[in-house]
Amino acid sequence: MIGPAEIDAAALSLAWIADAAAFAAPHPILGEEIEMAVVLKAGAQPQTALETTLTATRDALRPLLGYGRMPARIHVVQAVPRTPGGKLQRHLLAEQFSALPRAHAAPAADRAALAWPERPVARWVAGVWASVLDLAVMGADEDFFQSGGSSLQAAQAAALVQSRFPDQMLYVSSVYEAPTPDQQADFLSEHYPEITARILGETLRPDGGLTTLGEADQMRFAGLVRNPLGPHIAGKRLNPPAVFILSPPRSGSTLLRAMMAGHGALFAPPELYLLSHADLTAWRAWYGRAHASQLEGLPRAFMGATGCSADEAQAIVSEMERDNLSTADVYLRLQTAIGERLLVDKTPFYGVHPSVLTSAEATFERPIYIHLSRHPYGMIRSFDQARLGQLWWPRLTGPDGDPASPFASRQLAELIWTHIHANTVAFLEGVPAERQIHVRYEDLVRDPEAAARRLCATLGLAFDPAMLDPLADPSGRMTDGLRAGSRMIGDPKFHSHSAIDPRAADQWKTAYDQDFLSSRAGALANALGHTERVDDADERVEFDV
């Protein structure tokens, strides 16, 4: 979501670049990708060192733009075309270079001399990536992006790996975090041991069990979590009312959002991640290049609000980023675009920090809160299956934190569940009862109409039967991706369902052999009405031998 002007500015910040223009060039597979034309300053480098100059340019731009926004090809030109009035003519560059044969962007190594990785998993990864990048061979230490890969090809590579293992959920951020076959092999071994075992033809030994979390673990977790929101300064005026769904991840918030998006008086876009940041500069910086795809909810919201295209929506967001709008102003612009409809913001991250929750009261007039809870074992099981730790831990610790979580996936899920619910319960104690409602996921899937009617009553709306068909009209409910073929923001398996399934409430009951909740999580679960435990689950069948 960066405009060509920002890419131009990054190039012009380099001492040897006199002029620059980024442009969208046609691509036979991706449709289009970013390329750039540059004019070198006189005497900056002799012509014989042109390839060295281009390599230095790529190396200097990468930390400024991130892998996902890097031009796939950089062309040296005598002049950048402009109109007599000085306006860039990017389309002429696209026409000029579209007919050139596509050379790989990282030709420094002699490809004929390269060998496939020796490690079996790295070799397997290299084979998949080479097919995406159209390479004859890919070495163990070759960088995906320096080998010509684009952000869309990274998504294609992740999707191709997942297609081989459809029961796993692999995210595009994995390619950014581990961009060489050797690094990706280590990443899979750490985060996806099942995939690693199946590549090697081995049987994964079951987890031998984890100790119950104690107070020291919870204190350690709280100490590592960073707050992305500085001291909140209330604006001169409050934004119109809005609705916030407060829940941990994997608690049914995507389902609830899709149901609410079917109501004609509501506007429920994917995760916005706005409330947790003071302005759009902080919003962008917190997630970094590897997790930038998580911010596609905002342009998708403007697509839904205005009926514009993905490119036009991204241009709207890019303009707001250039102006560094406060998040309150971004909310107001979105609320203005949706007219009389009531905005519903579903972003599980908000509950991590009490200051973020209280900022809603300082930003909106009489906001309404939906506290959505799911049985902790149900949330933990779903979080673990979706491998959400690799997305949530960097989100919790911020761009300067250690990207490696010290907690096992199951432990991290329980810590997040406990932390968010404790914050939410404490916050809602200070909110008038008429502006809050508690909804249990289990009630939502077992009797969705009753839950929807309760919600409508709290919001002062008539019940809309369309709420009961959340899988209908993906475009209208914004349960599609920003672009054709891209993943939706939220539950990546949402469209694998055919209807609201009441059986989802009890799937955790066959997942665990014994109770492991900490005393704090157990007490909080009881207070929220989730009193059943593994030992007394009805679906468990035990035999005396």
Q: Are residues 56 and 126 in the same domain?
A: no
Domain boundary among 184, 200, 216: 200
Whether 503 is in a domain gets the answer no
In angstroms, the CA 541 to CA 545 distance is 13
Render pLDDT for 487-506 as a digit per residue (tens, 0 to 9): 777 776 776 777 899 999 99
Whether 334 is in a domain gets the answer yes
Comparing 123-132, 251-260, 292-301, 438-447, the range with the smallest average pLDDT is: 292-301
Q: Are residues 58 and 116 in the same domain?
A: no
User: Pairing mode, if any, of strands 342-346 and 242-246?
Assistant: parallel
Smallest Cα–Cα separation from 3: which of 315, 422, 271, 248?
315
Q: Are residues 189 and 116 in the same domain?
A: yes
Whether 323 is in a domain gets the answer yes
Whether 206 is in a domain gets the answer no
In angstroms, the CA 124 to CA 181 distance is 8
Q: Are residues 160 and 262 in the same domain?
A: no
Rg, the chain, Cα only: 25
Q: Phi and psi (nearest 5°) for 96?
A: -65, -40
Domain count across the chain: 3
pLDDT at 111: 56
Q: Tell me the range of 93-97, 202-206, 285-289 where mean pLDDT is highest.
A: 93-97
Mean pLDDT of the chain: 86
pLDDT at 36: 93
Q: Are residues 445 and 318 in the same domain?
A: yes
pLDDT at 307: 95
Q: Are residues 77 and 155 in the same domain?
A: no
Q: Are residues 279 and 396 in the same domain?
A: yes
Q: Are residues 31 and 136 in the same domain?
A: no
Q: Are residues 161 and 278 in the same domain?
A: no
Domain containing 347 equals: 242-482+513-536
Render pLDDT for 61-110 as a digit per residue (tens, 0 to 9): 877 776 556 787 889 999 999 999 889 999 999 888 877 765 444 444 45
Percent of the chain scored above 90 by pLDDT? 54
Which has the higher per-residue pLDDT, 160 or 498? 160
Render pLDDT for 312-355 as a digit per residue (tens, 0 to 9): 998 999 899 999 999 999 999 999 999 999 999 999 999 999 99
Q: Are residues 325 and 357 in the same domain?
A: yes
Output DSSP code: residue 271: -
Which has the higher per-residue pLDDT, 436 or 191? 436
Residue 114 tokens read as 């390269």
> What average pLDDT does the segment 435-442 reach?
98
CB 213 within 8 A of CB 414: yes
Q: Could you tell me the CATH number of the domain that includes residue 169?
A: 1.10.1200.10
Output DSSP code: residue 433: G
Q: 253-261 and 448-459 helices cross at what angle (nearest 10)?
A: 70
pLDDT at 204: 57
> What average pLDDT does the segment 170-196 reach?
85
Residue 183 tokens read as 């690094």
Q: Bridge partners of 82?
A: 88
CB 350 within 8 A of CB 244: yes
The count of C-alpha atoms lying within 13 angstroms of the C-alpha of 543, restricted to the half-sphere facing its C-beta, is 1
Q: Whole-prediction pTM value?
A: 0.71
> What average pLDDT does the segment 154-176 reach?
83
Rounded to whole angstroms, the maximal C-alpha distance in the chain is 90
Q: Could you tell me the CATH number of the domain that includes residue 518?
A: 3.40.50.300
Which has the higher per-residue pLDDT, 101 or 55? 55
CB 313 within 8 A of CB 356: no
Smallest Cα–Cα separation from 380: which of 221, 528, 518?
518
